Homo-oligomer: A and B are copies of this chain.
Amino acid sequence: MRKVVTFGETMMRLTTCHHRRFGQSTTYESAFAGGESNVASALAKWAVPVVHVTRLPKSDLGDAVVDGFKSLGIDTRFIQRGGRRLGLFFVEKGVSIRAGKVIYDRADSAFATLSPADFDWPAILEGSSWLHFTGISPAISENAARACLEAAQTANRMRLTVSMDVAYRSNLWQWGKRPAEVVPELVKHCTVIVCSPHDTAELFGIYPRPDEDPFRSVCRQLMGQFPALTTIITTERGQQSASHNTLRGKCWQGGRLLVTDTTDIPNIVDRIGGGDAFMAGFIYASLAAKDTLSALRFGVAASALKHTIDGDLPLASVEEIETIMNGDTSGRLTR
């Protein structure tokens, strides 16, 4: 398969142990995580050549993140080193009827204070077929937004597939501009986006029409507005409790709405990173020349299986995901 490039912040994730609340925990499990490098990690695990581009501080903590990438086989050559601190987030996992909580601590991180000129996008993207980033990066700082734009423009010019998970998080946008001033400019260069009908009002001023399926409705409007766009995907999550969700995927492509079956996910171990596993699965299966519905189904299966795995990364094989995708969620013991 041809190379995929991902761009975005990777943080240290500090999770309380044994379902403890923040006020109870005296130990934290540490791992590295970030929307875009989660995608890179999954693709690398599935043997796709992948380059992750980010900025990390010159410190033992930054080194540990890079070593983690290397262990997965991610190409780390284009990672910038510098800045004052590693972005962090603290996680209290949800369970039963109790909601999970995430406390972000990414202000002034190495990534937030990156310098766009340090990234030589033509060199980075050389030989690649796909660029992926998310709407979190442009939310973090003006420089990060600028870097995304340059990456997307270059990739578009070099005829890569460009995907963006628009992932709107209102409380991240602190640097001055509103998302609607920034995100549409980025989507202009995208071929594929992940976008739910809940986000389009704030990001694009697009509202679902009352008489139409909301996803279909916003997709039709988005397609009208962004001619480069060919594919919009999303997941619909049913939440019976923090320990029990359901998931299905939807895709709008070529004027057609594709919908997967619903996967039931009981006894969830860790749902963070589920969206990234979906994106990674969709990219993998697309690169593997599956049809779009199969790619969507592979993405949903990858995401569902991620919910059973500790940490942000969907550390499962293609075969394991295909088992889920083919409807075998029986968890039968393999000897």
Contact = CB atoms under 8 A, between A and B. Distances in A.
A contact residues, range: 35 or more
Contacts of A67: 23, 71-72
A242 interface: yes
B239 A331 contact: yes
A324 interface: yes
Given A97-B308, A266-B241, A22 B60 contact: yes
Contact of A20 (B24, B68, B310): B310
Contacts of A84: 107
A101 B14 CA distance: 20
Interface in A49-74: 59-61, 63-64, 67-68, 70-73
A266 to B, nearest CB: 5
B23 A31 contact: no
A244 interface: yes
Contact of A97 (B18, B27, B331): B331
A276 to B, nearest CB: 14
A326 interface: no
Nearest to A90: B61
Interface stretch (A184-192, A253-261, A267-275): A267-275
Interface string A5-26: 0000000001001111111111
A179 interface: no
B243 A331 contact: yes
A64 B21 CA distance: 10
Contacts of A116: none
A244 B266 contact: yes
Given A28-B28, A71-B68, A310-B18, A333 B265 contact: no
Contacts of A21: 60, 309-310, 315-316
A92 interface: yes
Contact of A304 (B85, B97, B100, B169): B97
Interface in A274-305: 304-305
9 contacts: A21-B60, A24-B310, A85-B107, A88-B88, A94-B331, A97-B329, A99-B320, A99-B333, A241-B331
Question: 4 smallest A-B Cβ distances: which pairs?
Answer: A242-B331, A71-B71, A22-B60, A98-B308
